[in-house]
Structure 1
Amino acid sequence: MPVMYYKTPVGIAMIAEDDGFISRVHILDEEREATEPSSPLLQEIAKQFDEYFAGTRRDFDLPIKQSGSDFQQQVWQELLKIEYGKTISYNEQSLRMNSPLAIRAIAAANGRNNLWVVVPCHRVIGSNGSLTGYAGGLWRKKWLLEHEAKVAGIGQTRLEF
């Protein structure tokens, strides 16, 4: 399984490829040296991340696959439908999935997303507008949302955690 460490504005991301799919993208808290991509797919995700962080890419076009239950797969597919620069609440996500009583299960599935930024769980916030539940750290969630709002021309966002 080829692995690459990619330097982002908010830390080093560990990116793994498995059988022709991007299978893991995790932001690390510890410092690590960036590495060169060792496959065409890792070169492509590095290019797309460069574009995303430069503000010229809003959606990723990559073959992705992560392990999870059918329910988790449905939750992650719903995350892919959230527009760049926009946010929804966990409640809204549950309504979109026709599962209004499954808010906690949906939030838990969001937390198990292994494709940081590519599957944009950072776009889901609390019903009161607060930043909640982000494995990469709430400061990174805030940074990503502010970056997307600025690029999308939405203007200043007032995000609190």
Structure 2
Amino acid sequence: MTNVFLIRLDSPIGRIEVLADDAAVTGLSIERDGALPHDGAPERSNPVLDRARVELDEYFAGARTEFDLPVRLEGTEFQQAVWAELGRLGWGEAISYGSLAAAVGRPGSARAIGGAVGANPVPIIVGCHRVLAADGRITGYSGGEGVPTKLWLLGHERIGFAA
């Protein structure tokens, strides 16, 4: 069994909890209603999480536009394809659910894409906040406090969206 490591850090969108094994980041949660999934567990860092803390702090300070962290994403083959495509998006870039569906070879499956985007285990690092409706509207966000969290992230990266 692999070791599980955990850190928490403060951010402009609330507290963040990052999980890792010996080699890679495996999860990231944004505080919702004042709570994180593992609030009762003690923090236990390792070199991967030490680096994650620095890179996340730099991101929130506006000094980092891409992450250089090892990440291990557990999910279905379809989810993996969606997350890999999200990983290709850079700072300030957005994509629609339909375009994301086409990019993974599943045109017309925007609803399934939405489910895969919402299941992303490492939001922010894999930028699921960069996905918008075809007309540029914000349709939701599963991280943190939902749409207000997504609004902050989009504003931070200067990504325009329709009201």
Q: TM-score, normalised by structure 1?
A: 0.88
Residue 133 (structure 1) aligned to one of 137, 140, 155? 140
The equivalent of 1:145 in structure 2 is 154
Distance 1:10 1:2 in 2: 22
The equivalent of 1:24 in structure 2 is 27
Residue 67 (structure 1) aligned to one of 56, 61, 74? 74
Q: State the shift of 1:105 in Å.
A: 1.1
Distance 2:138 2:64 in 1: 24
The equivalent of 2:5 in structure 1 is 2
Distance 1:60 1:68 in 2: 21
Distance 1:38 1:96 in 2: 36
Q: State the shift of 1:50 in Å.
A: 1.1
Deviations, residues 78-123 of structure 1 (Å, cap 9, x unaligned): 0011121121110111122221122111111001001010000000
Q: Percent of aligned pairs with the same residue? A: 37
Identify which range, 93-102 or 57-66, moves more after superposition: 93-102
Unmatched 5+ residue regions in structure 1? Answer: none
Unmatched 5+ residue regions in structure 2? Answer: none
The equivalent of 1:111 in structure 2 is 118
Distance 1:158 1:90 in 2: 14
Q: How many residue pairs were aligned? A: 154
Please list, as runs of the form range in 1=range in 2, the aligned pairs for 1:46-65 lying within 5 A after superposition.
46-65=53-72
In the alignment, structure 1 residue 98 sits paired with structure 2 residue 105: yes
Distance 2:132 2:32 in 1: 22
Q: TM-score, normalised by structure 2?
A: 0.86
Query: Residue 156 of structure 2 aligns to which amino acid in structure 1?
Result: H
In 2 relative to 1, CA 54–36 (structure 1 residues): closer, same or farther, beyond 3 Å? farther
In 2 relative to 1, CA 11–159 (structure 1 residues): closer, same or farther, beyond 3 Å? farther
Distance 1:32 1:43 in 2: 22
**Contact 2:6–2:43 (8 Å) recurs in 1:** no
Question: What is the CA RMSD across the aligned residues, in angstroms?
Answer: 2.0
